[in-house]
Amino acid sequence: MMIQIALGSGLLLASILIAGVSFWAMEVAILRFRPWLVRAPHTPKLLVVLLTAAVWILAQLTVGVWLWALTFLGLGIFPTLEEAVYFALVVFTTLGFGDILLPVDWRLLGGMASLNGLLNIGLVTAVLVETMRQIKLHQMKQIS
């Protein structure tokens, strides 16, 4: 049990570190393009930011899923990469089909992967909303 908790905690921390670095990089990119973003017309630029952020977030979440999947595969929990990725994706998104299960010896990792997915999805939602809010505020300042 302690091995699962230690391993799962390490994966959670690694995933959050990856998310943090990803958010920092996205912030740097937005700051770099800020002069362009605050110039009119605003609506098409907000759409570009939204689409770019969505793709960026999808990539960041994909890295988290692969981190878990490769761990499952490395531990020999699943015989194929496809099964490991499928299980990691289903658990990370908290979909929880239940058609593929972890062995009893490793079942705590499933809950921790699910917790990781919930946390990451909450974080990316907050970052996306705050990013759009900040850009809109800067655009409004430029107008007045």
Q: What is the pLDDT of residues 78-127, one digit of tens each?
A: 999 999 999 999 999 988 888 999 999 999 999 999 999 999 999 888 88
Task: Evaluate if residue 143 carries a pLDDT over 80.
Answer: no
Task: Evaluate if residue 7 carries a pLDDT over 90.
Answer: yes
pLDDT of residue 44: 87
pTM of the model: 0.86
Task: Evaluate if residue 128 carries a pLDDT over 80.
Answer: yes
How far apart, in whole angstroms, are the C-alpha atoms of residue 84 and residue 77?
Answer: 8
Say if CB 114 and CB 65 are below 8 A apart. no
Q: Which residues contact 10 (CB under 8 A, 6 or more apart)?
A: none
Region label for 96, one of left (φ > 0), alpha (ψ between -120 and 50) or beta (otherwise): left
pLDDT of residue 75: 96
pLDDT of residue 70: 97
Query: How many CB atoms are located within 10 Å of the residue 59 CB?
Result: 10
Measured CA to CA in angstroms, residue 88 lies from 5, 11, 54 at distances of 17, 12, 21
Q: What is the DSSP letter of 41?
A: P
